Amino acid sequence: MKHILVTTDFSEEAEAAFDYAKEQVQLIGKEKSKITLLKVIDIGIPTNNEFDYGLDVTDKMGIIERLREQALKRIKMIAQKHFTGFPIDTLVYTPSKDVDKGIVEFAETNDVDLIVMSSHGRTGMGRLFLGSIAERVIRHSPCPVMVVPARVAKKETP
């Protein structure tokens, strides 16, 4: 397990996966492995919708670029806060498809050995409408996936 991919959506639940990724690196040895902390930007942004008062959203690429800039700043802060002393790369990725497909695509093209991610633990209608990114990643991943349940993050929070 030389390359461990950790995903984040900047939620508190996502942070539960960080400790598990660091444990894997410690088992392998810091000099033999690296972590990539990944934020995949959801590009499901409307392109030509007119809203009340004449506001028109036509600058999809500008919106995505601003999202990327904000996400890069935030992911670097997360890396400094949670991964000091670990071999880590930070990356904001804008896939041509959905978030889950972007994670799988990144894992396939970057020789990832393990994906570590959290699950929000949605049930009922929330899961029906939003689906489960973790579930879809598991189904299509080219490598093992470690999913940390949301309840683990909630238990550890004081």
Domains defined for the chain, CATH in brackets: 3-44+74-156 (3.40.50.620)
| pLDDT score of 17 more than 60 | yes
> pLDDT averaged over the chain?
82
pTM: 0.81
Q: In this predicted structure, what is the pLDDT of residue 62?
A: 78
Residue 129: the pLDDT is 41
What ranges in the chain are assigned the alpha helix state H? 12-28, 60-82, 99-109, 124-130, 133-140, 150-156
Band the pLDDT of 126: cuts 50, 70, 90.
very low
- Pairwise CA distance, residues 145 & 147, whole Å: 6
**Chain centre distance of CA 9:** 5
CA-closest candidate to residue 5, choices 39, 31, 28, 29: 39
